[in-house]
């Protein structure tokens, strides 16, 4: 039996902010300052272009700007913390002065997260779910900021080599439940944890990502806000055989299902059109 996520009062609280996800779905706009991200690599390496894009996303309705300096696409080459800082921090320092929305830092490295938080970032989006850097969990706990815990097998370089699941949603739930427990034991508060099933991260193109969207409401039993990032992902390209920037309609379909099934935050490239999708689905859900 389907249970509306709006029946659960999902809250995120830190410092001077409080988000009540029972009111609506939030939009996280993607800002990649990388040369090799799967969809927009190289487009926003220039500081002014990155800032202009972030301001445009704010105008189009983004609630959060998620900035990252290391690609996590399948097979991506890792970069050093110094290189990641070189890409991210100059943009982030200017960004927090110009936008009113929340800025999050997309990184698995504590040194990058620490400097980003010092410069004004307010959320850590860690695709490793606090596994890659032993200093990340203590940092998040100390700085008292929210963290996104994402499901991924292995590392980005090898995650697509093992995509066999007996029951993908059950295995994701088990993993996320363990990471929530780890975060809590590390001193991170309950109302500062967001979960992400990791669409496109170690999942089969033919089945798993669709199964996650189809059964997303099962993750609601973990009692945490759910972030979903289907935007321009390879499973959509694989199905339709079109380029990433031609996947607006496909992304819209995935976003609509995600919101209907319980997503509280959707992470997207195309904020303007996905904002419209989210507003319509939220209105449908409220009418139920």
- Catalytic residue set: 233, 267
Where does 49-136 show beta strands of DSSP type E?
64-68, 102-106, 123-126
Residue 168 to residue 163: CA distance in whole angstroms: 9
Residue 9 to residue 231: CA distance in whole angstroms: 26
Asked if residue 194 lies in contact with residue 225, where contact means CB atoms within 8 angstroms, the answer is: yes
Q: What are phi and psi of 5, to 5 degrees?
A: -65, -20
**CA distances (Å), origin 271, targets 5, 53, 64, 243, 282:** 22, 11, 11, 18, 16
Residue 234 to residue 139: CA distance in whole angstroms: 33
Q: Rg of the chain's alpha carbons, rounded to an integer?
A: 17
Q: Give the three-class secondary structure for 26.
A: strand
Can you say whether the dihedral through the CA atoms of 185, 190, 192, 197 is positive or negative? positive
Asked if residue 13 lies in contact with residue 224, where contact means CB atoms within 8 angstroms, the answer is: no
> How distant is the alpha carbon of residue 246 from its chain centre?
21
């Amino acid at each position: 039996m389907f249970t509306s996520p709006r029946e659960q009062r999902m809250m995120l609280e830190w410092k001077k902010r409080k988000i009540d996800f029972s009111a609506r779905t939030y939009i996280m706009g993607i800002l990649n300052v990388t040369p090799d991200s799967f969809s927009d690599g190289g487009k926003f390496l220039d500081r002014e272009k990155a800032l202009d894009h972030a301001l445009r996303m704010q105008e189009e309705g983004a609630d959060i700007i998620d900035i990252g300096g290391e690609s996590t696409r399948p097979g991506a080459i890792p970069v050093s913390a110094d290189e990641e800082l070189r890409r991210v921090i100059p943009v982030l320092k200017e960004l927090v002065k110009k936008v009113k929305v929340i800025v999050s830092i997309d990184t698995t490295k504590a040194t990058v997260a620490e400097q980003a938080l010092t410069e004004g970032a307010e959320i850590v989006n860690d695709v490793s779910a606090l596994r890659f850097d032993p200093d990340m969990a203590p940092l998040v706990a100390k700085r008292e900021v929210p963290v996104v815990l994402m499901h991924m097998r292995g590392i980005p370089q090898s995650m697509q080599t093992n995509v066999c699941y007996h029951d993908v949603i059950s295995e994701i739930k088990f993993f996320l439940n363990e990471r929530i427990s780890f975060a809590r034991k590390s001193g991170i508060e309950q109302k500062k944890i967001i979960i992400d099933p990791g669409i496109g991260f170690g999942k089969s193109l033919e089945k798993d990502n669709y199964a996650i969207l189809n059964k997303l409401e099962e993750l609601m039993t973990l009692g945490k806000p759910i972030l979903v990032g289907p935007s321009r992902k390879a499973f959509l390209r694989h199905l339709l055989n079109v380029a990433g920037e031609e996947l607006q309609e496909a992304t819209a379909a995935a976003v609509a299902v995600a919101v209907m099934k319980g997503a509280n935050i959707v992470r997207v490239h195309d904020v303007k059109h996905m904002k419209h999708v989210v507003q319509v689905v939220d209105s449908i859900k409220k009418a139920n």
